[in-house]
Amino acid sequence: MEIWTEPQMEAIHKMLNPRSIAIVGATPRLQYGGRFLAAALKAQDRVRVYPVNPNYDEIQGVKSYPSVADLPEGPDLVGIVVPYHQVLEILKACHAKGAGSAIVISAGFAERGVPARRDLQTQLGAFARDTGLRLSGPNCLGLANVKDDIWATSSSRGAKGVTGPVGLVCQSGATAFGPFLARAADAGVGFSYIISTGNEADLDCSDFARYLLDDAATRVIAGFVEGFKDASKFLEVAKLAAERGKPLVMIKIGRSEAGARAARSHTAALTGADKLYDAVFAQYGVIRVQDYDELLEVSQLLAHTPKPEHPGVAVVSHSGGVSSLTADMCGLAGLDLPPLSDHARDGIDGILKGFGWAANPADVTGFANSASFPSIMEYLLDEPQVGTLVIASAGADTQAEQVISLRQRTHKGIAFLWTGSRSETAGLAKLKLANIPVFYTPDTLARGLRRRLDYHAWRDRRLSDGFAEAPALSAEQHRAIGRLRTAARTTLSESESKQLIAAWGIPVTREVLASSAEAAVEAAERLGYPVALKVDSPDIPHKTE
Amino acid sequence: MEIWTEPQMEAIHKMLNPRSIAIVGATPRLQYGGRFLAAALKAQDRVRVYPVNPNYDEIQGVKSYPSVADLPEGPDLVGIVVPYHQVLEILKACHAKGAGSAIVISAGFAERGVPARRDLQTQLGAFARDTGLRLSGPNCLGLANVKDDIWATSSSRGAKGVTGPVGLVCQSGATAFGPFLARAADAGVGFSYIISTGNEADLDCSDFARYLLDDAATRVIAGFVEGFKDASKFLEVAKLAAERGKPLVMIKIGRSEAGARAARSHTAALTGADKLYDAVFAQYGVIRVQDYDELLEVSQLLAHTPKPEHPGVAVVSHSGGVSSLTADMCGLAGLDLPPLSDHARDGIDGILKGFGWAANPADVTGFANSASFPSIMEYLLDEPQVGTLVIASAGADTQAEQVISLRQRTHKGIAFLWTGSRSETAGLAKLKLANIPVFYTPDTLARGLRRRLDYHAWRDRRLSDGFAEAPALSAEQHRAIGRLRTAARTTLSESESKQLIAAWGIPVTREVLASSAEAAVEAAERLGYPVALKVDSPDIPHKTE
């Protein structure tokens, strides 16, 4: 079975690279609809932009259309910012007009936790799949094609970012255009696309990740996921990503029950069993991280360093304390800092003339800010067991230029541990601009290097061995899954869960479903005491205890 | 036995609060001696500053003296920046002149790893203790009395910092005046003192920490330690700190062999068995952290929040994704996010009017930037099980002012998770200035809150139960320790180690020390084959394998 179709990928392509954008619910004031219009208008010289609002002839200086039907063309992308109950009608009008794709900003669907709204969301998804008018959302903040500077978002946080090879897919819009965008700008990490998917009535993060796999501008796919609607689809993405050597770096909510509960409220996402995700991610080479800064730093490292030829790491610093702490954290992360050869030690000693320490880690004192620093770095980088050089310092422009120049001359990995102020403009700014991967504390550096090593080691194994295939399902297992699939729900009641488990041959307690007090008594007598009485409902999970 | 004497504490007091500073080896150029002079001269209006250098009549606009003997007074503090072989002579001259204390910036002692330099360092320490001219260093960068803006340091990183209640003791000078100072300025974390101790020939970090325990301006003691010269002294500090409720927050190198090896090169420090430190720190309530940003954030949290009355944490954010991730990390850290009472839920629902989610964590959408936000925060803070409120947002000045105002009205803890750019001036700058503890990622926030809870819970137990006393040593154990102490070394040979272990009744393999091939053969025949032959030398540790 083909998971993704050509028309679906074409719809995503139009959504991410629109030549025309309509905004239904555009307003002069900079609320959601007004902000979407304002963001789109920044690309006015390259993209045709159509506000749709019957109350205005002109909005933000642009002609406004009373309805979708009145538009001069079927736009590549329609941003929908209207009350929840009008969304389906608008989608129908967009389809009739021949629109290519839609972003539903409107909230008020499954995240409200009531059946009617959940049903409405299901209808949006079905409509999108049936008609081919594929959509992102509802309850999202839109997206940005950063590389071409086209912003289709209601974010209040501005429409400006650094261009680069990281493609970001994020279920939470306020996180995509909040911490991710802000910290990426801080860190100089560049995006190809920023995509928020919200409740995922139709297209989900796996669909967008699948698109990014084919996108030449994206070298690393970064994701923030509360829960997967369809985990098998994600695994297919992970397999393809491994083949192509595009790392997947992810935050997956659900480390704890508190987070899982919050995610259910937020985008109605089911986080699933966390240990299972850990195991599956490990098997499929997905790099799981804990926070947005880490996601960006690790993505930047993977995007801008080659595969390490050797696992060894060399560390050089102007400070003995920094080099000790860096070595300590590298050791804690299981990284190898190979001792220096006589050649390297004598060479560096010849430069240091008794100051500092010619070793790995090297403490080269003020020589880290001298004309001799390139020679020191070269001695370390030329060591046969060293695959990656870490400069742990906070020098000025000259030091940064020396590091950037060295990176151009080597096929080994270079990373920087910046120990100065994060707001430094000298040195640090140059490093960022040159896309030297920068970390700010020894332990995030060490964990980042560890993840890079593990990823490439995993991929080497994967390319030589292939994935372990899951055993085929038995007829009984197929039937059990089929029965539950027809229920079209994402939570199972206790008795349904037990039927499923039993199909895999796992013993379960005997039980009878009783719908009245009398039936319960009768069942208890049939089973034999002692018995336990429990509520059985898909709406009340986690009540087994 | 009294560990600390009155004269010792007086010497430290003079060193940290000098009314007169001489710099031996001051120069016009801004190398080590020149920088020390320049830093001291910033306090010229409050402190008498005397450069000492026979080659100049005047340095940096101040009269220079040919020798210590020529100074008009015995200064409270002498900064010594001369070649290593001149240091002892200068110290003698300082003592003759009646100086109060000394900082030895000069390097070239035990860190060089050769016996003659180690001996020279031992002589410095002995001289200091014998004469009472106590000293910090050698191989340090000096110190700063930040609260009174007196800087006695050769650091090249400037002499400017924020004043506050964190006292920093750091064996590495370049770390104290590098990442610690820079990141504290970034984060708005204020210091009372910054003290670098270097090789610790005389005064060590425990001595300075002991002083800070009595210092009213210091509420939290932060430390960066490669190795303790005398662990029992540190434990005494930890005991006193617990009694007084001044938390000790520390980075201790030695998490891995790579770090331990680096520390030995750097300040000739013995890092010791890491698991042992973990156990002892846990027993004595010392908060162990991994990096400088974490050290500063946790110190700031402890300094600026009261003891939590309840362990429960409430989280409120403008973003569902941020609130999910924050809750997830809090859960992972074992923190409790109690569900809201009906009162709070209904109250917040009444404000949100169907948007967002009135729960814990609360996703209050745009209401986080509205006049209603104080009411929302108050509902959460008034929950009986909530001891700490976390605001996870990135609002402008108004939001910051609302949070600051709330903090003034409550006796519960307030912490901020800033999700915007770290270089934001609106909002964030106000929070820092008001000393609201700010974290920048959900997992550092969660770990910080966890450490605060653990610290206060530990201290409550400690105050009610006291410390468990170690069992007294047996006569044989005393003898075993005594024999090794006379060797005056810090590493033991294999046979010495085994003697020590055997004194505690732990079985060891039989062995004979042989000094020739013939003796070895004879010993092997006596012991019975099979046997293993090994080198036995205190200079070759880690060769047992």
Tokens 């929040």 locate to: B305
The stretch B114-118 carries a mean pLDDT of 95
Closest chain B residue to A106, measured at CA: B355
The stretch A204-225 carries a mean pLDDT of 97
pLDDT exceeds cutoff 50 at A439: yes
Q: Which residue type does B78 have?
A: V
CB B483 within 8 A of CB B499: yes
* Pairwise pLDDT comparison (A530 vs A118), residue with the higher score: A118
Which residues pair with residue A152 across a beta bridge? A143
Quick check: bond before B138 cis, omega within 30? yes
pLDDT exceeds cutoff 50 at B398: yes
pLDDT exceeds cutoff 50 at A545: no
Shortest alpha-carbon distance between residue A504 and chain B (Å): 31
A374-385 confidence digits (pLDDT tens): 999 999 999 999
pLDDT exceeds cutoff 80 at B410: yes
The stretch A93-118 carries a mean pLDDT of 95
Are β-strands A142-145 and A150-153 bridged in parallel, bridged antiparallel, or unpaired? antiparallel
Q: In angstroms, rounded to a whole number, what is the distance separating the alpha carbons of residues B197 and B134?
A: 12
Which residue among A266, A330, A441 places its CB closest to the CB of B320? A266
B6-300 and B308-465 have identical folds? yes
Task: Kindly determine whether residue A320 and residue B174, on different chains, have CB atoms separated by under 8 Å.
Answer: yes
Lowest mean pLDDT among A285-289, B83-87, B142-146, B491-495: B491-495
Spell A440-458 as b/e; 16+ CB within 10 A means b.
bbbbbbbbbbbbbbebbeb
The stretch A147-171 carries a mean pLDDT of 93
Please state, rounded to an integer, the average pLDDT across all residues of chain B.
91
SS3 A170: strand
pLDDT exceeds cutoff 50 at B337: yes
The pLDDT, as a whole number, for residue B459 is 94
The pLDDT, as a whole number, for residue B382 is 97
The pLDDT, as a whole number, for residue A544 is 45
Q: Which residue type does B386 have?
A: V
The pLDDT, as a whole number, for residue A513 is 75
Task: Kindly determine whether residue B329 and residue A291, on different chains, have CB atoms separated by under 8 Å.
Answer: yes
A252-268 confidence digits (pLDDT tens): 998 888 888 887 776 66
Both tokens assigned to B50: 């005397």
DSSP-derived secondary structure for A14-83: HHHS-SEEEEET--SSSSHHHHHHHHHHTTTTTSEEEEE-TT-SEETTEE-BSSGGGSSS--SEEEE-S-
Diameter of chain B by CA atoms? 93
CB B251 within 8 A of CB B291: yes
B189-199 confidence digits (pLDDT tens): 999 999 999 99
Confidence of residue A159 (pLDDT cuts 50, 70, 90): confident
The stretch B202-216 carries a mean pLDDT of 97
Confidence of residue A543 (pLDDT cuts 50, 70, 90): very low
Chain mean position to CA B423: 26
Q: Which residues of B touch A335 (CB under 8 A)?
A: 258
The pLDDT, as a whole number, for residue B516 is 81
Per CATH, which fold does B6-300 belong to?
Rossmann fold (3.40.50)
Which residue among B178, B293, B320 places its CB closest to the CB of A394? B178
Q: CB atoms < 10 A from the CB of B164, how many?
A: 23
pLDDT exceeds cutoff 80 at A538: no
Shortest alpha-carbon distance between residue B237 and chain A (Å): 23
CB B111 within 8 A of CB B198: no
Q: In angstroms, rounded to a whole number, what is the distance separating the alpha carbons of residues B335 and A256?
A: 10
Q: In angstroms, rounded to a whole number, what is the distance separating the alpha carbons of residues A209 and A223?
A: 8
Nearest Cα neighbor of B134 from B77, B93, B82, B178 is B77
Give how far Cα B238 sits from Cα of A305, B296, B318, B449, B537, Å. Answer: 45, 19, 41, 21, 35
The pLDDT, as a whole number, for residue A488 is 56
CB B503 within 8 A of CB B480: yes
Diameter of chain A by CA atoms? 93
pLDDT exceeds cutoff 60 at B488: no
A112-142 confidence digits (pLDDT tens): 889 999 999 999 999 999 999 999 999 999 9
Closest chain A residue to B334, measured at CA: A256
Please name the residues in contact with B76: beta carbons below 8 A apart, sequence gap of 6 or more: B14, B15, B17, B18, B19, B20, B21, B99, B100, B101
The stretch A386-411 carries a mean pLDDT of 97
Q: Which residues of B touch A395 (CB under 8 A)?
A: none
Task: Kindly determine whether residue B330 and residue A258, on different chains, have CB atoms separated by under 8 Å.
Answer: yes
Question: For the sheet containing B191-196, what is the strand order?
Answer: B150-153, B142-145, B191-196, B163-170, B220-225, B248-252, B287-288
Pick the CATH number of B308-465 from 3.40.640.10, 3.30.2090.10, 3.40.50.261, 3.40.50.300: 3.40.50.261
Confidence of residue B544 (pLDDT cuts 50, 70, 90): very low
Shortest alpha-carbon distance between residue B359 and chain A (Å): 8
Which residue among B185, B265, B331 places its CB closest to the CB of A255? B331
Closest chain A residue to B260, measured at CA: A328
B46-82 confidence digits (pLDDT tens): 999 999 999 999 999 999 999 999 999 999 999 999 9
The residue ranges of every structural domain in chain B are: 6-300, 308-465, 475-527
The pLDDT, as a whole number, for residue B52 is 98
End-to-end CA distance of chain A: 40
Please state, rounded to an integer, the average pLDDT across all residues of chain A.
91
The pLDDT, as a whole number, for residue A285 is 94
The pLDDT, as a whole number, for residue B543 is 47
Helix (H) or strand (E) holding B315: strand B312-317
User: Percent of chain B beyond pLDDT 90?
Assistant: 75
pLDDT exceeds cutoff 60 at B440: yes
Are β-strands A362-363 and A413-418 bridged in parallel, bridged antiparallel, or unpaired? unpaired
Which residue among A253, A328, A421 places its CB closest to the CB of B253? A328
* Pairwise pLDDT comparison (B38 vs B262), residue with the higher score: B38
B255-286 confidence digits (pLDDT tens): 888 888 887 776 666 667 888 889 889 999 99
Q: Which residues of B touch A172 (CB under 8 A)?
A: 319-322, 324
Shortest alpha-carbon distance between residue A428 and chain B (Å): 13
Helix (H) or strand (E) holding A454: helix A442-465
DSSP-derived secondary structure for A522-542: HHHHHH-SS-------TTS-S
φ and ψ at A163, to 5 degrees?
Answer: -85, 140
Confidence of residue A531 (pLDDT cuts 50, 70, 90): confident
* Pairwise pLDDT comparison (B522 vs A241), residue with the higher score: A241
Best of A111, A324, A335, A416 to disrupt the B interface by mutation (most B CBs within 10 Å)?
A324
The stretch A281-298 carries a mean pLDDT of 95
Both tokens assigned to A32: 């959601």
The stretch A270-286 carries a mean pLDDT of 85
